[in-house]
Amino acid sequence: MNSVLPAFKKLFKPRAMLHRACFEGVLGTALELQLRVDNQAIAFKAEHLILEEIGRLERVYSFFQPNSELNRWQAAGCIVPSPDLKWLLEEAAHWQKISNGAFHPAIDAVISGHGSLKDLQQALWRWQGDHVHKLTPHRLNFNALAKGRIADKAAQSALQLEGVHEVLVNLGGDLCHHGAGKLEVAIAHPFSKADNAPELARVWIQNQGVATSGHTHRGAHIFDPRAAKAITEIAQVTIIAPDAASADVVATICCVLEPAQSLEFTESSQMGCLVVTVAGEVLTNQRFRALQTTEVRS
């Protein structure tokens, strides 16, 4: 869901120029870039690095490309993973554990009717030295973590280029910012259908990730792995985290948890959280309110 959009209200040093670019069909979604660079030539080089890194990680993480490293592992059952895939598996295990199963890579099997709740209680993979063995027969989906990770790595790739001072990557609503200054970001209202409708809130971010998840714009697509049922009480969740990958997965987790649990979970994890229920109630934690530039519009 592309519910988090850059407001593009920022002051830059006179010596640096602001470069913006938009691309369609990147990972099946829209990619927006905002770069503060020394000149146009560096901006184009940074664009190239970002697109190259997105393509590289798509070949690792894609759930849809049959020949991605993730899917080769799922087909073979055992591989020595690349550092990128190893990171994904370790992070997925971490978030599955600390969320008490609110995030689960095998939930698609239950949703499709090919698996059961009992399957979700079994180990999905195990490590043996450098090898990782897939234990479940069901396909695993890491999209709630991988897209944010790709945004993070893409932004970092551009920052390695001399003459790039600030990077904003907005990959289908998973937003990553790196740089010295603050950036104001607008969060779309889940019940506003028009693109030019007033936003729900605005916040400042700096060296952080933002992600929004929910079901109001695409129908019920988030399920509670603990009960194998669609989420119907939560309209939208926005998370502000130290990186886009964490924001991405925690936004999904907080669509599953009760609102009070989400606020407590994110506050203890040092993340900002905004929850909108289907009934129209808007809830925020202290860390989110500290970043607000406007009052939340209910």
Residue 288 CB neighbour total at 10 angstroms: 24
Can you give the pLDDT of all 298 residues of the chain as single tens digits? Answer: 444 544 444 444 456 899 999 999 999 999 999 999 999 999 999 999 999 999 999 999 999 999 999 999 999 999 999 999 999 999 999 999 999 999 999 999 888 888 888 888 899 999 999 999 999 999 999 999 999 999 999 999 999 999 999 999 999 999 999 998 899 999 999 987 766 678 999 999 999 999 999 865 444 567 889 887 888 899 999 999 999 999 999 999 999 999 999 999 999 999 999 999 999 999 999 999 999 998 887 7
pLDDT of 196 reads: 65
Ranges of each domain in the chain: 69-140, 182-298
pLDDT of 10 reads: 43
Question: Per the CATH hierarchy, to which homologous superfamily does domain 182-298 belong?
Answer: ApbE-like domains (3.10.520.10)
How far is Cα 86 from Cα 73, in angstroms, rounded to an integer? Answer: 11
User: What pairing do the DSSP bridges indicate for beta strands 174-179 and 78-79?
Assistant: unpaired
Q: Which residues contact 23 (CB under 8 A, 6 or more apart)?
A: 30, 31, 33, 51
pLDDT of 267 reads: 96
How far is Cα 173 from Cα 1, in angstroms, rounded to an integer? Answer: 6
**What burial class does residue 291 get, using C-beta atoms within 10 Å of its C-beta: 0-12 exposed, 13-18 middle, 19+ buried?**
buried
Token pair listed for 139: 């396909």
How far is Cα 183 from Cα 175, in angstroms, rounded to an integer? Answer: 11
How far is Cα 158 from Cα 237, in angstroms, rounded to an integer? Answer: 29
pLDDT of 198 reads: 82
Tell me the pTM.
0.91
How far is Cα 144 from Cα 253, in angstroms, rounded to an integer? Answer: 9
**What burial class does residue 270 get, using C-beta atoms within 10 Å of its C-beta: 0-12 exposed, 13-18 middle, 19+ buried?**
exposed
